[in-house]
Amino acid sequence: MTVSRVLVSLVWLIVIGAGVLSQDAVAQSGPGDQPATLSLDELTALMEEDEAQDSITSMTPDELLDIAGLVLVLGIALVSFVTQQVWLKYGVFILVIGYFGFAKSSLVSIVNIFAILEGNLPTFRHGVPWYLLIGFTVVSTILWGRLYCGRLCAFGALTQLMDRIVPARWRIEPPTWFDRRAIYLKYVILVAVLVYYFTSGDFLIYRYVEPFWMFTLNGTMVMWTLLTVLLLATVFVRNLYCRYFCSVGAALGILSQLTVFRIKRWRECNTCKICEHACEWGAIDGPRISVAECVRCDDCERIYDDQEKCVHWIVLRKSAPREPAV
Ligand code: SF4
Ligand code: SF4
Ligand code: SF4
């Protein structure tokens, strides 16, 4: 319900209440005592005043600055995706850890999914940043896939940065048979959490299924212990939480089935394993890229375009007719 509707309802309650009280008062007093009630014009004026206060133009400079900052961060993330510049991608990771993580503590969470499924959305006037972030996440997922995971999520950015810093020899690659089954765990967690929430109404369950609270630096001993175990395990297994446990990632994976612009593959990808080995998300299985697992990190896309690395271009060069010797 919007603020305006609440206020109008309150006004009506006051009017009706005043009417009831006035009847009592009339009954108890003489005909000369007239109680004050709102005329229709006054009521309309009140509604218009309320609408004006509720409009976007009534935002404070701080609110407008907040929105401008968010648009800027989303824009930089989008530019880094389109240009596929590696240095810019890692710059965006540091930016989103600072901005969405520690500064705003504003990550897409299972709580947002509860709210969307319940239709319990904030009013536009007070929820512009919410609509921008959720809108960008949904639209970009439909257009390109899990771009939110690949660029905007502060926790995902943190684990991707860890992956860059931790020595490669420390890594443990889960066996393929295990990985192919374990990726479904996050969907089981998503369903379990939704069932729990809609039967108990306890939204605080989010604290135990996602680590995003860490950016607030405000957790219980149990939560910090679980987080420490998770981050230690992530040192050895790349993007562990994202790949196997994240319910938001699972929801975006489902949404990404609608993705319009998918990564193309060459004929040579049927046998070539270069991109499969390069994908730190386990999203490539032979010639196939799983849109549900792919976060559009662009590692394989840069190989795809690289005429010195990609087998397709190398084969093409070798099979091209040689120039006759002069
Ligand atoms: S899978 Fe979850 S934690 Fe990982 S990047 Fe996506 S939303 Fe963030
Ligand atoms: S290197 Fe080229 S051919 Fe090999 S998997 Fe990647 S895109 Fe396909
Ligand atoms: S390497 Fe390619 S398939 Fe793997 S997550 Fe990145 S963009 Fe997706």
For the chain, the domains span 68-263
Ligand 1 center from residue 212 Cα (angstroms):
9
DSSP annotation of 124? T
pLDDT surpassing 50 at residue 28: no
pLDDT surpassing 60 at residue 32: no
Q: What is the mean pLDDT of residues 17-32?
A: 38
Match 């939704």 to its residue by tokens. Answer: 194
Average per-residue pLDDT in the chain?
A: 85
The verdict on the CB of residue 302 being under 6 Å from ligand 2 is no
pLDDT surpassing 70 at residue 86: yes
Residue 326, Cβ neighbours under 10 Å: how many?
Answer: 3
Q: What is the mean pLDDT of residues 132-142?
A: 97
152 within 8 A of 74, measured Cβ to Cβ = yes
Q: What is the mean pLDDT of residues 307-324?
A: 83
pLDDT digits (tens, 9 = 90+) for 195-218: 999 999 999 999 889 999 999 999
Ligand 3 center from residue 186 Cα (angstroms):
19
Which is more confidently placed, 120 or 320? 120
pLDDT digits (tens, 9 = 90+) for 46-83: 555 555 555 556 788 888 999 999 999 999 999 999 99
The verdict on the CB of residue 211 being under 6 Å from ligand 1 is no
Distance CA 98, CA 94 (A): 6
Q: What is the mean pLDDT of residues 281-298?
A: 94
pLDDT digits (tens, 9 = 90+) for 236-260: 999 999 999 999 999 999 999 999 9
The verdict on the CB of residue 113 being under 6 Å from ligand 1 is no
Residue 200, CB-side half-sphere exposure with 13 Å CA sphere? 10
The verdict on the CB of residue 300 being under 6 Å from ligand 3 is yes
Crossing angle, helix 61-83 and helix 128-144, to 10 degrees?
A: 10
Q: For 150-175, give the DSSP string.
A: III-HHHHHHHHHHHHS-GGG--PPP
Determine the residue of 264, 268, 289, 307 to mutate for testing ligand 2's pocket, defined as the one with the most ligand atoms within 8 A of the Cβ atom: 268
The verdict on the CB of residue 313 being under 6 Å from ligand 2 is no
29 within 8 A of 100, measured Cβ to Cβ = no
Q: What is the mean pLDDT of residues 220-243?
A: 94
Q: What pTM value is reported for the model?
A: 0.81
pLDDT the model gives residue 317: 86
pLDDT surpassing 50 at residue 11: no
